[in-house]
Copies of this chain bind each other. A is one copy, B any other.
Amino acid sequence: MDIRSLKHFHTIATCGQFTRAAIQLHISQPALSNTIKSLENELGCTLFERSTKSLKLTEPGEILYKHAGNVLESFDKIYKEMEDARNVGKGKINLGMIESYRYFISHMIGIFKSKNPAVSMKVRELGPNDIVKKLESFDIHLGITSIANDHNNFKYIPIFQENYVLLTPPEHRFKNLTSIEIIDLKNETFIHSLEGFKIRETFIKACEHVGFSPSVEFETESLETACSLVENGLGISVVPESFLALNPSKRRNEVFIKDFASKRTVYLVYQPERYLPPPIQDFIDITLQFSNEIIVRK
């Protein structure tokens, strides 16, 4: 049993076929037959129930499949960490962030870059779920997100907090108001983005607390889409304040909700168990400092 055989085994189990797995692995089909034969020999049990027209994992096969997946993942991670270790000095940071933070983050990145001009950064714009996945698979070193999840071993550092405001179409009945109360929103149609699923829950609870259940008619991927739906008069939405500064437009109104105090927190997130080369440590340190400044300002 070695990684090669586990890789072969895993690919067959995933494909559900020797022939297709062979193509995927860029080897011949008999080579695969051999690998599995000797693997079964070594382990003393059959791994696949196989016939010419169907392929199924046996009980021991299922167990091995689970392990094989984990070990192969570990191997991928080793390669990624070794790449970081090799590049110490050269420096390269992979960062994934929710797109709506571009404006704020560029400031932080600016500070970092002025201190570490030799370090190259690859900034990807990802959804909150992708950030978690890509951190787990070591594809990104750092993430910037507003959703802090307790279930994994990630470390979250709060960077800043901001308020939410209500966004309405230009000709809405709130157009001459600067602030309203939640109860005024009864009978309105709501648009929410998946990006802010946390605020959605909080908001719905706040509505229920004052005695009504808001009708959420649209759910979109990004804040941008939510915003443009509002501009087209399809409903109203609750969005973070900073987003509006980033995307100025005269085709909508902003109204402050007096009795809705919930804030969104933006976090820097990373895996503390992973080896993080000096420039990344530096980025984290700068973020921590930034975080303190912001918190003092608040």
Residues of A within 8 A of B (CB): 1-4, 43-45, 59-60, 63-64, 67, 70-71, 74-75, 77-79, 81-82, 85-86, 88, 275
Contact = CB atoms under 8 A, between A and B. Distances in A.
Contact of A78 (B67, B75, B85): B67
B3 A2 contact: yes
A92 to B, nearest CB: 14
Chain A's interface: helix, strand, loop or mixed, by majority? helix
Contact of A74 (B2, B74, B81): B74
A107 B242 CA distance: 68
Q: How many monomers of this chain does the complex have?
A: 2
Given A2-B4, A3-B3, A4-B2, A82 B70 contact: no
Contacts of A70: 74
B82 A74 contact: no
Contact of A85 (B4, B45, B77, B85): B45
A86 B44 contact: yes
Given A63-B85, A63-B275, A75 B43 contact: no
Contact of A82 (B64, B85, B88): B64
Nearest to A273: B66
